[in-house]
A and B are shown apart, each in its own frame.
Chain A
Amino acid sequence: MPDMIQSHRNWALWLGFLLALGALLCNAVFFVNPPGKRAIPWLSVLLAGVSLIFLVRGLQRAFGQPRVYLGKILSSIVALVSLLLVGVAIFSFFQARAIPASAGAPKVGQTAPDFTLADTSGQAVSMAQLFAPAADGSQVVPPKAVLLIFYRGYW
């Protein structure tokens, strides 16, 4: 590489790349299920945004002074890869929030709709039965409340 003495590391570009990587990888935190995880999606967006700023800065340097800061081709590749990472991070953010509004769901104080559904043994269980003491004697005292956990399924 010519002019080695004068070349500087394009730190803005590499920082942009690291931030883009961070934006994507902070989604991995969900596997650990920590408290305060509600902030993680927004952290991802923040990192993505800051990453873009540094990528632009890095590209400006690379194209403005290609001999000093990496080369135009190499920096374009780094920027493109970073942009891809940012794209995936932003896409994941919007995908995870693409949830229906559920305006008709029962609110606090309203009556929950009744139902009868099959349990894992195929036996029909009504809501009233959920409040009864368990048949196998495992629950002598009837529960005060049931916690209905609706989940996506197909795990």
Chain B
Amino acid sequence: MRGIEKQLAEFKAAGVRPVAISVDPPEVSRDLCKKAGYTFTFLSDPNAEVIRRYDLLHVGGGTDGHDIARPAEFLVDSARVVRWVNFTEDVRVRARGDEMLVAAKGLR
């Protein structure tokens, strides 16, 4: 996320809008954004409905044993077509900001 925020201007220049989604309620995301200084869009999916729609549900994956999303990134164009995806095999290995920017720039 820090990588995204750092390169936000470049994402904008590439015409890409980052949107973060998790089960965190809006208040929690608001606090996170305030503390970490994130200025891009954060959306809340508290019942994991959308997460399920994207088949990203990780049952009991949260620290308290609650259902969360497994990490994944999708680049979706204005026709709602998926142009790039990233699935990690290891939760600690996340796509870096520059990797996602390369994908963003590759969009025609």
Contact = CB atoms under 8 A, between A and B. Distances in A.
Contacts of A110: 81-82
Interface size class of A (residues with CB under 8 A): 35 or more
Q: Is the interface of A mostly helix, strand, loop or mixed?
A: loop
Q: Is the interface of B mostly helix, strand, loop or mixed?
A: mixed
A151 B82 contact: no
Given A143-B16, A147-B100, A111 B80 contact: yes
Given A108-B84, A144-B107, A147-B18, 15 more contacts: A38-B90, A99-B71, A100-B57, A102-B56, A102-B72, A110-B82, A115-B45, A117-B43, A119-B41, A122-B26, A142-B78, A144-B78, A150-B21, A150-B74, A152-B70
Interface in A78-105: 96-97, 99-100, 102-105
A99 B58 contact: yes
Contact of B22 (A97, A119, A139, A152): A152
Interface of A: 27, 30, 33, 35, 37-38, 40-41, 96-97, 99-100, 102-115, 117-122, 125, 127, 130-131, 139, 141-155
A148 B21 contact: yes
A125 B85 CA distance: 22
A33 B55 contact: no
A112 B87 CA distance: 15
Contacts of A121: 26, 30
Contacts of A102: 55-56, 70, 72, 87
B20 to A, nearest CB: 5
B71 A151 contact: yes
A153 B33 contact: no
Contact of B74 (A27, A100, A103, A112): A112
